[in-house]
Chains A and B, each alone.
Chain A
């Protein structure tokens, strides 16, 4: 089964600075999707960014970008110019692109990001 590992339970960043959240995954599949979700306190999870494994170009969404290293099975999230509203729990997720398991997400344990003013 696929596993997703987020080795940083909690991180802190100063407002306006840059922070990188780590995520690694284990899979034998060649085609899949990767996601970063954000869950602010007491609110629902929202999608931050997604990456298709067949695309070599790293995805970017405004201040959010990823460093996708397929061979290393690494998918880190970089947040530039951090804002107070970025404070949340961040979950990395994997989803198969085919086969029996492609209906479900596999999540990591999350990284709590604190943003200091």
Chain B
């Protein structure tokens, strides 16, 4: 079974540009999560999808970040316009159910560098 995949693995952009990150969850997982780790700090929750609906987007930093999950399959996270403080590693995770102790399965992350 394929794991969670993310594309690209690394992106370098200039301040003010737009970047779109993609996440493909494990097939059949209705729950999809985005997290972010700024260099050397903790991994922080951004938002949670259940199928195509946003269950919780309390961690989204500001309105420059837009997440979508059309059709309840893959998800995209767009940053527009990017700022220097947006640099970090963006992780995607998926799970079957979220009301149990089940783990979330993580992708390898996308390293975003904003110059």
Q: What is A's interface to B at a CB cutoff of 8 Å?
A: 4, 9, 33, 35, 37, 39, 42-47, 50, 52, 91, 93, 95, 97, 100, 102-110
**Closest A-chain residue to B111, C-beta based?**
A42
Q: Is there contact, CB below 8 Å, between A103 and B48?
A: yes
Q: Is there contact, CB below 8 Å, between B98 and A44?
A: no
Q: Is there contact, CB below 8 Å, between B42 and A35?
A: no
> Could you say which residues of chain A place their CB within 8 Å of the CB of B44?
107
CA distance A102 to B56 in the complex (A): 10
Q: Is there contact, CB below 8 Å, between B41 and A102?
A: no
Q: Interface with A: B12-20, B63-71, B80-88, B99-107, which one?
A: B99-107
**Closest A-chain residue to B48, C-beta based?**
A103
| Distance between A37 CB and nearest chain B CB, rounded to angstroms | 7
**Which of B4, B42, B48, B101 is within 8 Å of A104, CB to CB?**
B48
> Do A47 and B99 form a contact, CB below 8 Å, given A91-B43, A106-B45, A108-B42?
no
For the residues of B in contact with A, the DSSP-based class is loop
CA distance A52 to B102 in the complex (A): 11
**Which of A39, A42, A102, A109 is within 8 Å of B40, CB to CB?**
A109
Total contacting residues, chain B, CB less than 8 A: 27
> Do A50 and B103 form a contact, CB below 8 Å, given A43-B108, A103-B48, A104-B56?
yes
Interchain residue pairs with CB less than 8 A apart (20): A4-B42, A33-B101, A35-B103, A39-B106, A42-B9, A42-B108, A44-B108, A45-B91, A46-B106, A97-B101, A103-B98, A104-B45, A104-B48, A104-B59, A105-B35, A106-B42, A106-B45, A107-B43, A108-B42, A110-B43
Q: Is there contact, CB below 8 Å, between B98 and A102?
A: yes
Q: Is B55 an interface residue (CB 8 A)?
A: yes
**Closest A-chain residue to B109, C-beta based?**
A44
